[in-house]
C-alpha cells in the first residue's frame, strides 16, 4: 500500500512511518515542523535528541534497508497538498498534522487561533485533495476520546441511536470537549461526516485516549530513531510526565482530586490500531469511528502505579496534588465502549509494573537532559493571556 503520513515528525507520526515501512508499505512522511517550532517557542522541548526527518529516514534506511520518503511542507497550503497527493497517488492517508496540545490551545488568543486554523484547514485540505486527486484513497484521521468529554452516560463508539417522540434515527454521539484543541477535533469529525455524505469518502476517525511510551521495535534500533517525547506541562501527556518526574525526583503532579478517568494506551498499541484501520479499510461512504484506548485509569491510580514500579527500582517518589489548572470534572462517571478495533484483531498491551519499569530505565539514561523548570503547570484554563506564559 502507498501511505502518506501527514505530521510525520510527531510523537506518533515518526513511529507510524517506521512501523508501516517495516511492514513493506511504501511510505512518505510530510511535516512542516510546526510542533518542534511551538515546543521551542514555549520551552517545551523533547527529552530525546530527535534529528530532523531526512536524517532519521537516512539512518532508518541504513539500519533496515526500508526507505521512507520525506517531504517538508505545510498541509494548510492547499496547492502543496493537492500536488503531493496527485504525484504520490496514495492508497491510504494518515492525518496526524494537527496542533496536539490542549494546554497550548488554552494559552491565549494567538494559540487558540493557530490551533483552530491549523487543525481545521489541514482536515479540509485533506478532504479536498483526496476528492480531487485520489477519490478511492482512504483517510485515517486521528481524533480524540476527549471529543466526548465525560458524560454521565456510557460512551458509545462514535454513534448513538436515539428515539424521540416515537421516531428513531442514528446520530454522532454527543460531544462536549474540555479544551479548544479537543473542540477542533469535534469540528474535524463534523467536517469529515459532511464530506463522507457528500462525496462518498472512505474515512476512519480514531477516538484516541492519551498515549504513553517512548520506544517501539523500530525505534530501539538506534536512539536517534526514538520519537519526540515530551514531559513538559504543554506537550507532555500525563503518564510520560509522571515517569520523568519520578526520575527527576519531583513529586508527581496530580491535578486536583485526581479522580479524573481517561482511556490510556501504549504507543505500540497506537501503531497496531492505525495499521489495522489502514489494512482493513472503511467502505466508501462510511465514516467509521473507533474508540482507541486499552485501559481506563484515574490519575491517582496512574500516580500509584508509577510510585510502585519506581520503588522496585529503588527510586522513592512522592505524589503532590497541585491545584488543577484545567476546568474538568475531577470525579465523574466514565464508561466508554471499545469493540471495533478488537473485532479487527487489536491485541492490547497493558500498563504492567514491568512496562513502567522499562520506561523508567530508558528515561534514566536521559536524566541529564531533564529541564525541571518546565514540569509544573504554566497554562491555566480561563486565564486568557497571550504572549508570556502564565
Residue of the chain from 202, 262, 305, 378 that contacts ligand USQ (CB under 6 A): 262
The C-alpha cell at 11 is 510523537
* 280 near ligand USQ, judged by CB under 6 A: no
Q: How far is CA 219 from CA 12, 17, 361, 374, in A?
A: 12, 11, 16, 25
Catalytic option among 76, 144, 183, 204: 144
Could you give phi then psi for residue 12, rounded to 5 degrees? Answer: -100, -35
* 101 near ligand USQ, judged by CB under 6 A: yes
What is the CA 27 to chain-centroid distance, rounded? Answer: 19
Judged by CB under 6 A, the stretch of 79-87, 207-215, 341-349, 363-371 that binds ligand USQ is 207-215
Q: Which is nearer to ligand USQ, 201 or 238 (CB)?
A: 238
Residue of the chain from 204, 237, 266, 268 that contacts ligand USQ (CB under 6 A): 237
Parallel, antiparallel or unpaired: strands 138-144 and 167-172: unpaired
How far apart (Å, rounded) are the C-alpha atoms in residues 346 and 269? 8
Residue of the chain from 7, 90, 108, 146 that contacts ligand USQ (CB under 6 A): 146
- Are 193 and 339 a contacting pair, CB within 8 Å? no
Judged by CB under 6 A, the stretch of 38-46, 82-90, 97-105, 359-367 that binds ligand USQ is 97-105
Catalytic option among 11, 104, 148, 181: 181
What is the CA 57 to chain-centroid distance, rounded? Answer: 21
* 145 near ligand USQ, judged by CB under 6 A: yes
Judged by CB under 6 A, the stretch of 59-67, 84-92, 236-244, 337-345 that binds ligand USQ is 236-244
- Supply the minimum distance, in Å, between the C-beta of residue 79 and ligand USQ: 28
- DSSP string computed for 117-162: HHHHHHHHHHHHHHHHH-TT-EEEEEEEGGGT---SS-B-SSEEEE
Q: Is 185 a catalytic residue?
A: yes
Judged by CB under 6 A, the stretch of 38-46, 48-56, 234-242, 364-372 that binds ligand USQ is 234-242
Could you give phi then psi for residue 321, rounded to 5 degrees? Answer: -90, 100
Q: Which is nearer to ligand USQ, 129 or 289 (CB)?
A: 289
Parallel, antiparallel or unpaired: strands 295-298 and 261-266: antiparallel
Per DSSP, the three-state class of 373 is helix
The C-alpha cell at 231 is 514531559
Q: Which is nearer to ligand USQ, 12 or 225 (CB)?
A: 12
* 183 near ligand USQ, judged by CB under 6 A: no
Q: Which is nearer to ligand USQ, 129 or 243 (CB)?
A: 243
Q: Which is nearer to ligand USQ, 9 or 133 (CB)?
A: 9
In this structure, what DSSP letter does residue 66 have? -
How far apart (Å, rounded) are the C-alpha atoms in residues 179 and 108? 12
Residue of the chain from 16, 216, 260, 362 that contacts ligand USQ (CB under 6 A): 260
How far apart (Å, rounded) are the C-alpha atoms in residues 123 and 137? 15
Q: Residues interacting with ligand USQ, by CB under 6 A?
A: 100-102, 144-146, 182, 208-210, 237-238, 241, 253-255, 260, 262, 299, 326, 328
Give me the active site residues, please: 144, 181, 185
Amino acid at each position: 500500500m502507498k501511505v502518506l503520513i501527514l505530521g510525520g515528525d510527531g510523537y506518533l507520526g515518526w513511529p507510524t512511518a517506521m512501523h508501516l515501512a517495516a511492514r513493506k508499505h511504501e511510505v512518505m512522511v510530510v511535516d512542516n515542523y510546526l510542533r518542534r517550532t511551538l515546543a521551542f517557542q514555549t520551552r517545551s522541548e523533547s527529552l530525546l535528541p530527535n534529528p530532523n526527518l531526512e536524517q532519521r529516514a537516512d539512518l532508518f534506511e541504513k539500519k533496515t534497508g526500508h526507505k521512507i520518503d520525506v517531504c517538508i511542507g505545510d498541509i494548510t497550503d492547499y496547492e502543496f497538498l493537492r500536488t503531493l497527493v496527485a504525484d504520490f497517488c496514495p492508497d491510504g492517508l494518515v492525518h496526524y498534522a494537527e496542533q496536539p496540545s490542549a494546554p497550548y490551545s488554552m494559552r491565549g488568543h494567538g494559540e487558540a487561533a493557530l490551533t483552530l486554523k491549523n487543525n481545521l484547514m489541514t482536515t479540509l485540505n485533506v478532504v479536498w485533495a483526496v476528492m480531487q486527486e485520489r477519490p478511492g484513497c482512504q483517510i485515517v484521521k486521528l481524533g480524540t476520546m476527549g471529543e466526548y468529554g465525560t458524560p454521565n452516560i456510557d460512551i458509545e463508539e462514535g454513534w448513538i441511536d436515539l428515539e424521540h417522540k416515537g421516531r428513531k434515527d442514528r446520530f454522532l454521539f454527543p460531544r462536549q470537549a474540555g479544551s479548544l484543541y479537543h473542540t477542533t477535533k469535534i469540528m474535524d469529525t463534523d467536517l469529515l461526516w459532511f464530506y463522507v455524505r457528500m462525496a462518498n469518502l472512505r474515512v476512519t476517525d480514531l477516538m484516541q485516549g492519551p498515549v504513553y511510551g517512548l520506544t517501539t521495535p523500530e525505534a530501539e534500533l538506534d536512539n536517534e530513531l526514538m520519537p519526540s517525547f515530551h514531559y513538559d506541562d504543554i506537550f507532555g501527556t500525563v503518564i510520560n510526565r509522571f515517569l520523568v518526574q519520578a526520575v527527576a525526583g519531583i513529586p508527581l503532579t496530580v491535578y486536583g482530586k485526581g479522580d479524573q478517568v481517561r482511556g490510556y494506551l501504549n504507543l505500540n498499541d497506537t501503531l497496531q490500531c492505525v495499521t489495522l484501520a489502514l489494512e482493513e479499510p472503511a467502505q466508501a461512504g462510511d465514516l467509521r469511528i473507533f474508540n482507541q484506548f486499552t485501559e481506563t485509569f484515574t490519575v491517582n491510580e496512574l500516580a500509584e502505579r508509577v510510585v510502585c514500579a519506581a520503588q522496585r527500582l529503588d527510586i522513592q517518589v512522592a505524589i503532590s496534588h497541585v491545584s488543577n489548572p484545567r476546568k474538568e470534572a475531577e470525579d465523574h462517571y466514565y464508561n466508554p465502549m471499545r469493540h471495533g478495533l478488537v473485532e479487527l484483531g487489536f491485541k492490547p498491551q497493558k500498563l504492567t509494573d514491568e512496562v513502567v519499569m522499562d520506561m523508567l530505565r530508558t528515561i534514566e539514561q536521559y536524566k541529564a537532559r531533564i529541564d525541571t523548570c518546565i514540569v509544573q503547570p504554566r497554562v491555566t484554563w480561563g486565564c486568557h493571556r497571550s504572549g508570556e506564559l502564565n
